[in-house]
Each structure stands twice: as structure tokens, then as C-alpha cells.
Amino acid sequence: MKQVGLIAINFVREQRWPILVLMLWVGVLIAMGLVYDLRKAGEEVLFVFKQVAVYGIVFAVFFGASAIHNERKTRRILSVLSKSVGREQYIAGLLCGIIFAVSIYCFAMAMTGTWILRPAGFPAAYVWFLMAYLLVASVLAAAVAVVFSTFLNPLFATLCAICVLALPAAAALRFDSKWASAIPFYPLVGLLMRASFSEKWTPQWDLLALGVLESGLCWLAASWLFSRRDIAVAVD
Amino acid sequence: MAAALEFDGVSKQYNRWYGGRSVTALDRLTLAIEPGEIFGFLGPNGAGKTTAIHLAMGFMRPTAGQGRLLGKPFGDAKTRGRVGFLAENVAFYYRPAEELVRFYGALNDVPRSALKRRSREVLSAVGLLEDRRRNAGKFSRGMLQRVGLAQALINDPELVVLDEPTSALDPLARVTVRELLTSMRNAGKTIFLSSHLLSEVELICDRVAVLNRGQLVRLGRTSDLLRTDHKLEITARGIARDSFPEAQATDAVVRFKVPAEEQRAALERVWNLGGEVVSVNPVRRSLEQLFLELTMSSTPGKDIAS
């Protein structure tokens, strides 16, 4: 467990610049809050808030798809894995680092969202739940990307992750809407994107739980795959 | 006593995608490194040295065969906590040297209370104590290699696996590292050293293995490998240079080589000529000579001594 924490903190530290770039979007929202009349411009502010929130998912996939590749390319992974660190701990450390990075973003977004949306009548609890959906969707997307990144380069890992995440949505369109929840990424993002002042909302605990469970399964799959990979050969 | 590091018929083949030719990097390597020795692992570029080390550290899985690291199968994470490792092209995170060494120590379960003391000890041992607050990202390659050595020693390992540890070091730093390795051996640690610096290997290694094209071509005690069994060099005074074929004369001293079985006759001849024998020594070749002999014209699989 100690090793997982160390790798996670190290990951966040190494990704501090991308995280800072992500936080700049929160700064944009804060700037909007200072400039706009928040009571009158609620719809516009909510629209921008939802758009900015989605960047968290983009970054999560980027982190997930590139983390192992970057560490291998720089050969820093050898110094870490030559220590008392199992492959499953290494993957868990990377995932925890991504969760930590995205949590920082979601927390900042929730705080800012509460401040800029509440004056127009948007419930604060709803904002926090939307950010919980965003967090779980991001973690799930990152976990799927990590699975593919154990054996593919970042570009293909990203493409494969996008395909897998979109597959249930496509199946729901073609067959039955129940399929959409097979991998709850699309429903969670949908809850965020459909959020409005008029919508009556109820917490979707089942989707959150399923998202967390499937992220865990992705960790197991990624660990199993990664433990069978040779890491000391050229990455390209 | 169980071997510190053991390869038992270990092979590694790299398979190419799209039907390309596969490459055998290591071919049925069988080798046991005894506890408390400095073991030199030699071979030309592409011989399979780094592959063997990476297999031992669990970075890769063998295609065939098996191996044990401190008595546990390769790849056991807990066992790696008792091993120190320095990679060939060392790369670290950009942060102060001391912080870096502590990070790797913490990964190896070194108690928090001991990390500060231990990190300073190892940084001092590699001559970087004064630079401990400097960012490793701004270090020269030699300094990075020394940080690498420090992080490899932070957990006070039983076995140290070093892949080209002195390739970027200046002569003074090399002497420091050499002394450090010797003192570790004296403290009962096992050192597995892969190096191209043959003079260094010759100086400190108890045993040496030479690898060529993935196969072990020579294994034995360094002193045994460097001795040529059949010739002796005799140094004599008071005789003419042409008394012996191919003799060399410097400062009234004549040196010549004779086969061991002709030693007695040669010495008697010196005395009969009114000369004086100064010394008789077995002819030793350098490790470089041995290395060249083995790698330029060796048939893998032969000449493996115990």
C-alpha cells in the first residue's frame, strides 16, 4: 500500500503542469463568475461549466493512455520496478495518481460550480453530484485507457479506449437502451451533459457504484496484462 | 549455501511482429553467483548481458528456463527489496538528489526513521553529499550514475546488480566506486557487475563470465582465466641477449619466455652461461586479451570452466 501511495504522489508531481493547465479552465469559470451577472446568466454559465467539466475526462484518458509509455520511454520505470514494487502495485499507483489528479479538478470544479450556479437557483448538491459523476466517468475512462496502454502506444490506446467506452452507447442505439449501462461511462457523462435548471434530479448511486466496480476490474485486467509484458525492450 | 543469483538454462527470444525474424538474445544460460563474491559479467555489445540482468530483475520473462534471485524465482517483488540495482542508461525524476534517493528507499520499505541517515550515508559514499540538494536533472552523466549507485545501495542490499556502473565516471570516481564495491564484498554482500571496463573487472572481480552472442563462452576465477598454463617468463642478469630466442634486454637484464616443461633446462642454461636468475613468473595475460580471444574467435558452449 505504501508503494501505491508513493507512486501515486510521484505521478501527480510529474504531471503537475498538465494538472495546472486543467486548473486554468477552473480559472476561466472563476473569471466568468466575476464578470457575469450570475442570477441572469445561469443557462450560459451552466453550458460553459459542462463544457469545461468534460476536459477532465479528456485529461484522464490522456494520463491513462500515456503514463506507462512515458515511464518506459524515459527508462525511469526500471528504477521503480527494480524496487519492492509489484506490477499490480505499479498500475494501482498510476490509477490512484490519476484519481488524485482528477479529484483535485472535480473538487475545484464543484467549489466553483457551487459559487457560480447557485445564485441562479441551481442546487449545490446537484453540482456536487454532477462532479461525482464526472469523477467516476473520468476514472473509468482512465482505467480503460490504462488497460490498453499496457500493450499499445498512447495513440492506439486512446483510440481503443474511446471505442470501448462508446461501444455500449452504440449498442443501446442499435439494440436496447439497457446496453448503455454495460459500461456506465456514457450514462454518467449523459447525466452531466443533460443537467439543466429545469431537470428534477435524483442521485444515480447504481451508476456510480458500477463505474467504481468496473474501474476496479480494469485495474485487475491491466495488472494481469502488465505482469506479462516485457518492459525493458524498446517501446516503439 | 544457496546461490545469490542463479540462471538455470535461461533463454530469451525477441519475437518480431509481422513474421519478421526472431532474435535469440540469451541462449540457455546456466550460471550461479555465490554469496559474498564480486562477479564480473563480460561480453561485447549485444552479447545478452543486459537481457540477462533484466530477466533477473523481473523486467522480462524468460522464453525458456528459470532463475532464482536470493532463492526466489525471478520477478518476486518482495525479494527485490533485498537487491540493489543500477541500470545501464540511468534516468531519474527531476528533483533534488537526496529526495530522489529517499523516494527509492521508501519504495524499498526502508523505514522512514532511517531514510534520512541512510540517504546521507550512501550519498556520502558516492561523493555527492555536498550536492544532495541540487536537482538531479541538472547533473552530469557521471553524477547521475553516482546517484544511481546511491539509490541502489539505500536499502543496504544483500545483492547488488550493476549494469555498467562506472562507464561515465572520471578516474577518481572510479577508484571510489571500486573501493566501495570491495568494502561491500568484505561486508559479505554479493556484487554482480556487468562492465566493459576490463581493467576494473580484472582488479576487483573474484569470478568472471564471458558471454558472446547470447551464450556463455567462459566462466571461472579471474586469476585462473588470466594465467596461461604453459609459459613462464624468466628474468636473468649477466647473459647475452641472443642466448635465448626472442629474448628482450633492458638495463642489463634479459627477459625471455619458455614453455613450463623447459623451465629447468632454461634455468640451468642461464647458470651455465654464468648468469644469475632474477625471477621466474608465470606469464599472465590481461583480461582484455582473454576477452578479445573469446569474443573474436570463440565457439559458444566450449571452454566453460567451473
∠ Cα B263 B269 B275 (to 5°): 110
Give B303's pLDDT tier (boundaries 50, 70, 90): very low
Q: Which residue would you say has higher pLDDT here, B196 or B284?
A: B196
- pLDDT above 70 coverage of chain A, percent: 98
**A10 interfacial to chain B (CB closer than 8 Å):** yes
Is residue B127 predicted with pLDDT exceeding 50? Answer: yes
- Identify residues of B whose CB sits under 8 angstroms from chain A CBs: 14, 50-51, 54, 57-61, 77-78, 80-81, 83, 85, 87, 89-93, 103-104, 106-109, 148, 151
Cα–Cα distance between A22 and A9 in angstroms, integer? Answer: 18
Q: For the segment B165-216, what is each residue's pLDDT rounded down to a tens digit? A: 888 888 888 888 888 999 999 999 999 999 887 878 888 899 999 898 889 9
ipTM value, please give it: 0.86
Average the pLDDT over B231-235 and give the result. 86
Q: For the segment B190-199, what is each residue's pLDDT rounded down to a tens digit? A: 999 998 878 7
Check residue A93 and give its pLDDT: 95
Is residue A180 predicted with pLDDT exceeding 70? Answer: yes
Give B17's pLDDT tier (boundaries 50, 70, 90): low
Chosen for mutation from A83, A91, A225 (greatest number of chain B CBs closer than 10 Å) is A83
Test A89 with B106 for CB contact under 8 angstroms: no
Check residue B153 and give its pLDDT: 93
What pTM was estimated for this model as a whole?
0.84
Average the pLDDT over B239-247 and give the result. 86
| Chain A residues touching residue B92 (CB < 8 angstroms) | 76, 79
Average the pLDDT over B122-126 and give the result. 92
- pLDDT above 70 coverage of chain B, percent: 94
Cell of A130: 454532477
User: Roughly what angle, to the nearest 10 degrees, separates helices B97-107 and B112-125?
Assistant: 130
Give B223's pLDDT tier (boundaries 50, 70, 90): confident
Q: How far is CA B36 from the centre of its chain?
A: 14
> Of the candidates A175, A152, A167, which has an alpha carbon nearest to the alpha carbon of residue A214?
A167
Residue by residue, DSSP assigns A41-64 as -HHHHHHHHHHHHHHHHHHHHHHH
**A190 interfacial to chain B (CB closer than 8 Å):** no
Cα–Cα distance between B201 and B166 in angstroms, integer? Answer: 11
A6-15, A54-63, A160-169, B163-172, range with the lowest pLDDT: B163-172
- pLDDT above 90 coverage of chain B, percent: 45
Check residue A52 and give its pLDDT: 92
Cell of B117: 541517515
Residue the block writes with cell 568494502: B183
Is residue B59 predicted with pLDDT exceeding 60? Answer: yes
Check residue B301 and give its pLDDT: 47
Q: For the segment B62-81, what is each residue's pLDDT rounded down to a tens digit? A: 999 999 999 999 989 999 99
Give B241's pLDDT tier (boundaries 50, 70, 90): confident
- Is B100 in a helix, a strand, or coil? helix
| Chain B residues touching residue A9 (CB < 8 angstroms) | none
| Chain B residues touching residue A78 (CB < 8 angstroms) | 57, 59, 85, 87, 91
Average the pLDDT over A134-138 and give the result. 95
Average the pLDDT over A67-86 and give the result. 91
Positive or negative, the Cα torsion across B274, B276, B282, B287?
negative
Q: For the segment B155-167, what is each residue's pLDDT rounded down to a tens digit? A: 999 999 999 888 8
Check residue A132 and give its pLDDT: 95
Dihedral of the alpha carbons of A37, A41, A47, A51, in degrees to the nearest 10? -10
Range from A75-79, A222-226, B128-132 that averages highest in pLDDT: A222-226
Average the pLDDT over A218-233 and give the result. 90
Check residue B302 and give its pLDDT: 46
Helices in chain A by DSSP H: which ranges?
A: 2-14, 16-35, 42-73, 76-81, 87-117, 124-149, 154-174, 185-193, 205-227
- CB proximity list for B52: less than 8 A, separation 6 or greater: B7, B10, B12, B26, B29, B41, B211
Which A-chain residues 215-234 have CB contacts (< 8 A) with chain B? 228, 230-233
